[in-house]
Amino acid sequence: MKKVELLLPAGNLEKLEYAVNYGADAVYLGVVDFSLRAMRKGELITFDNLKTAIDLAHKYGKKAYMTLNIFAFNKDIKHLEECIEIIKDANPDAILFSDFGIMNLLKKYMPDTPLHVSTQTNILNYESVKFWQDMGATRVVLARELSIPEIAEIKNKVPDMEIECFIHGAQCVSYSGRCLLSDYFTKGERISNQGNCCQPCRWSYKLVEETRPNEYYEINEDAHGTHILSPNDLCLVHHLKEMIDAGVDSFKVEGRTKSLYYVSAVAKTYRQAIDELYQNPNADMEKYFYELKKVGNRGYTTGFALGNGSGGYSYNLSKGLAGADFLFEFHDKEKINGNELYLVKIKNKVLPNDEVEIITPTEQFVTKILGIYDENGLELDVGNTNAEVYIKLEKEPQSYKYAMARTVGIKE
């Protein structure tokens, strides 16, 4: 039986490497000019290092899909033609698009590269899938507005077309991501479908009556009724078996702008969940849901997957909150004054004797910080946020490469 693909976002080179090491079968990545995510941190993926990024995925035996899924203006088409040889040389395993003009260029200049149709095209039925198949596409990313039975019917009608579906991550209030709020609220400076959304759906709103310009009213009577456009995050970990049975070929996780910790922890959790399901189709997924609550979220919903509407809205949250704090990432191991110590980058303050949970691609355990030291081996009272310090652990990971630490359990 063909195993479902786990597809993770690669917002930069570091996240790409962590994603594939934590269990992703494939990653999707984009350069700023043509992607629906304008990245700002880390070693960004540009036309200068696109080949390096794709080669890195291939080094680990994983696939890399390039996103060219903006809605393109004339200037974008001209720019793409200028850059097409760079893309060809980088050799992505497929290209994701939503614009017919971009598709035409890809078929002209890169006829042998598989084409994946973005969720931005609102694919909701099997006739639409057949249309894209006739146009030469090899995979479609179905609209999030479909239920699992509807997905199964599409796959049954078009069995030789690959189906990709979102299973986890932030959702857009608009229909399959086609939103203009950011365009209007920034007077065209941050256009959502050009990769630069300012996320106005996460803002807090009050009502103003035009004859009373300085008087603001809550839209709902209770205090949580202001974030009226902000949906809960999608989480379908409890329904992976149903989606596999429906014929889904690729499980997609949203989050190219999310943290390194988010990408790693989510990849690890879904990798373990999928692998267990293939060993035991009746496996209980609750422990994996518990793990996913440790990463940033606005509360979870099943969206439209169960056929009962769009689920909840995070009326009291504009920003995702994690059930566990990301504490530090491991950079090196050195001997200082006779002690084997780990060089770490602190993300949230830690203290000596703190219990922490270590996660690596192959391990997960709770241990204690026995000491915190500076570069001279002098003991410190605290490891402050953004500091690079040395720590001694009661129990050490088998390999510190890609390891990170977080708080134990889930905060209320």
CATH of the domain at 100: 3.20.20.70
Residue 317 within a domain: no
How confident is the model at residue 221, as a pLDDT?
A: 43
How confident is the model at residue 374, as a pLDDT?
A: 95
Structure tokens at 341: 């110590």
Q: Phi and psi dihedrals of 358, rounded to 5?
A: -95, 130
Indicate whether 256 and 117 sit together in one domain.
Answer: yes
Q: pLDDT below 70 — which residues of the chain? A: 1, 35-42, 174-185, 187, 191-195, 202, 205-207, 216-229, 309-320
Phi-psi map region of 73: left, alpha, beta (phi>0 left; psi -120 to 50 alpha) = beta
CATH of the domain at 365: 2.40.30.10
Q: Of 109, 28, 79, which Cα lies nearest the Cα of 194?
A: 79
CB of 183 within 8 A of CB of 174? no
Q: Of 234, 269, 19, 31, which Cα lies nearest the Cα of 143?
A: 234
How confident is the model at residue 198, as a pLDDT?
A: 74
Indicate whether 185 and 125 sit together in one domain.
Answer: no
Indicate whether 266 and 356 sit together in one domain.
Answer: no
In DSSP terms, which residues pair with 141 in a beta bridge?
A: 164
Indicate whether 57 and 187 sit together in one domain.
Answer: no
Model pTM? 0.88
Cα separation, 14 vs 91, in Å, equals 20
Going 393 to 396 to 401 to 406, the CA torsion angle's sign is: negative
Domain of residue 376, residue span: 326-406
Indicate whether 39 and 117 sit together in one domain.
Answer: yes
How confident is the model at residue 177, as a pLDDT?
A: 65
User: Exposure pattern of 105-118 as b/e (b: 16+ CB <10 Å)?
Assistant: bbeeebeebbbbbb
Indicate whether 339 and 197 sit together in one domain.
Answer: no
Indicate whether 200 and 159 sit together in one domain.
Answer: no
Indicate whether 82 and 144 sit together in one domain.
Answer: yes
How confident is the model at residue 313, as a pLDDT?
A: 62
Indicate whether 24 and 86 sit together in one domain.
Answer: yes
Tell me the C-alpha to C-alpha distance, in Å, between residue 346 and each of 275, 330, 337, 380: 32, 9, 22, 13
Cα separation, 329 vs 275, in Å, equals 26
CB of 393 within 8 A of CB of 253? no
The last residue of one of the domains, among 167, 192, 218, is 218
The last residue of one of the domains, among 155, 189, 218, is 218
Tell me the C-alpha to C-alpha distance, in Å, between residue 187 and each of 40, 72, 190, 191, 359: 21, 19, 8, 9, 44
Indicate whether 78 and 156 sit together in one domain.
Answer: yes
Which H helix or E strand runs over 166?
A: strand 162-169
Please tell me the number of Cα atoms within 13 Å of 33 on its side-chain side: 16
Cα separation, 229 vs 216, in Å, equals 18
Residue 320 within a domain: no
Question: Count of domains in the chain?
Answer: 3
Indicate whether 244 and 188 sit together in one domain.
Answer: no
Residue 412 within a domain: no
Indicate whether 9 and 133 sit together in one domain.
Answer: yes
Range list of β-strands (E), 19-158? 26-29, 63-68, 94-97, 115-117, 139-141
Residue 225 within a domain: no
Residue 344 within a domain: yes
Angle formed at CA 98 by CA 13 and CA 73, multiple of 5 degrees: 95
CB of 176 within 8 A of CB of 145? yes
The last residue of one of the domains, among 218, 247, 272, is 218
Q: Of 408, 391, 385, 257, which Cα lies nearest the Cα of 331?
A: 391
